[in-house]
Chains A and B, each alone.
Chain A
Amino acid sequence: MTDDAENALLVAMKGVTKRFTGVVANEDVDFDVRPGEVHALLGENGAGKSTLMNILYGLYHPDEGTITIRGVAKNFSSPRDAIAAGIGMVHQHFMLIPSQKVWENMILGLDDIPAILPRNEIVRRITDLSEQYGLRVDPMANVWQLSIGEQQRVAILQMLFRKANILILDEPTAVLTPQEAERLFKTISQMTSEGHGVVFISHKLDEVMRITDRVTILRKGHVAGRVDTKSTSREQLAEMMMGERVPFSISKPAIEPGNRVLEAERITVLGDRGFPAVNRLTLDIREHEILGLAGVAGNGQQELCEALSGLRKLESGNVVLDGAAISGLAPRTFIDRGIRYIPADRKGTGLVPNMNVEENSILKKYWSHPVARGYLIDWKHVFEFARSLVSRYSVSTPSLYTPVRNLSGGNLQKLMLGRELSDSPRVVIAMHPTWGLDVSATRFVREQLLEERKNGAAVLLVSEDLDELLALSDRLAVICKGELMGIIGDPSAVTLETIGLMMAGTPVESIANNTGGLEQCG
């Protein structure tokens, strides 16, 4: 490549190597971003994508290799330097301050902010950016009260607020609906049309094929391939990612569902902000059945899951398990009766990051025999249990004494899944169980859910991935603004368009008549 061509690049990383204690995260990786392109970074969990991007963002210093931004060699010592160079990153786990308001988060880490914060000015800019890029969010809301999807919008806005012209998006669509994703894609194309560069990290091959210009595939810390999107295919990308062909389809044997296990009877639940998040919602889940729940992020899914697992108080209505009302009982009772919840927020809710694999494995059973013997915990038994869990659910961890904060997303999920599913639950409530997982981990999680279905559990699957919902669900419920838009008895018989309409707020019964007046949800 000539010097001119090199100078024209927004980003050029050459020969980047990064080792952590005993692990090579990146080895001799070259990566570049051209002006006006979307460059996808593809790879399984632990392939080194996040490490590479954290290096570009100044969070890590490479052991070897160089970074050049617009032809100028850079040596970032902190994200502050990277931001100054125009690089913005939206992480999978958003770097936001939950206790602060949206507008306060915008100015996080900025230098040239007056001592008295110009709140109105900031709010106005947020509103402008929100409208320009279709990232709707209330600047005055507290971040901790926002859903994961809304928090992501804040994180993206934060980078746009800093006028980043090289934007790194780590799994950006994982929490978005098709409609929202469409809007994000428009945002991205608007950025690229202005000459900005976007690094797009994703596992969704369809999206990569659709919106990117080039794809770099990482495998085990090395570059496994770099192709122009135009001249490749999903299958080829998947193959380069995994090094072997993994079939995409999943076999779901037909099973006749049994009795009703879990029922919600006209339940109303308040969200953190004190407004009803779930509104007089009624549904039931039967034995041997997966009930899918589709909906735009932040439309009451989390509150519903928490209410069904006993973690959130009902305002009205009833939760019924095997014909007996259980609403109002202690969360512990829900667990003891076999209701298992796999929350979306793995590190924040599902696991204790600073505790080790062994200690995390018993979070849902430390009080019952044989883990507990009277008041004592039988750590010998726990060790055996954790060891079998790790091998059965193929959790890859250096040891049982490793704090789980050091595990990758896929392994965190496998550990949590194993813990929740290990003693044949009656009900499994899984929220975004494959969020941010690579292809093989995703496949594993789905198989486990189907296995529970086979064993007779009633499964509620909340997902943003419509393909996943359609492939796994026996029936599909659609939620919008906390209300049920309807339950589709045979998901394979309806079009994606119908589901999209329901997610946008049209009840299923009015779709047949094709009444207009759609109201956008989310």
Chain B
Amino acid sequence: MTDLDQIERLRPDVDDPSPYWLAATRTALLERTPRRSWEHHRSRRSTLIAAAAAVAVLATIAVVMPGSSALTAAAHDQYYYVKEAHGGGGSPSGTLELWYPVGSADPVQPWHPACDHGAVTGMPYRCHPMGGSGVGWVADYTPDEPLGNLSVDQFRALPTDVDQLRTKVYEQARQWQAIQPPDGVRGGVYYSPDLDQQAFLVIDAGLRTGRAPQPLAQALYRVLLTIPGVQATQQATDSAGRPGVGVARTTAGFLYRLMLVFDRSTHGFLGEAGSYPGSVSILASGPVAKVGDRP
């Protein structure tokens, strides 16, 4: 055995970095990208402070909102109002106002003349919760309630701790992969053989409902940034034409390059990017006391 062999054997057996570290550092990296035009004038010190701040934010979320915590609903909130816009890919555009009982994923007063017939190109599966027979909606077997089917109360019960929420998302992604439907769509969640892409799609399924409260949407944004292969850009526009931070991921076998757009300052969810047929943007959302009220 040579001396080099002996030194090699001395190599400490170390663990991989924690997913938390990987996520926090990746977030710090991606969140620095928009400031490139003036960034190289910044000092190393400010660079490190920015990275530390990103870590601190995640740590604060973890401490203040442990996994079991729920986002408390105000007692008078009986309904959750969502106003969404549909567009992109040449499909008919339009807006839809929905009032969801906080304990249900089915809106009380949906309105769209085409919904019951699945006739609006690009948005049939959006119609199914309203009682139609939307193409692509498979409801016979669900291993777990998909994010796209959750009520506002159920969304509020999800952890906003990034690590725990990420675990939840990936658990669901694995479940969806295990039951790949023949048409590639189940419960509003597209199938991908790529686990990371499947996780991306699971998050999209939740956010595009508009029923994920702001703190959860912000946490899902941070989870998105931890998914390997995602790309972020500051120059994105949602299907309603609003600029924001775009987070996208592309993989083989998925028809469209799906991009989710978030508010640049709050990281609340704005909508899907306009290039996606049937893309949805959330124009307004929030708790209200009764059907017909708007926040």
User: A and B from one assembly?
Assistant: no
Name A residues whose Cβ lies closer than 8 Å to a Cβ of B. none
Name B residues whose Cβ lies closer than 8 Å to a Cβ of A. none
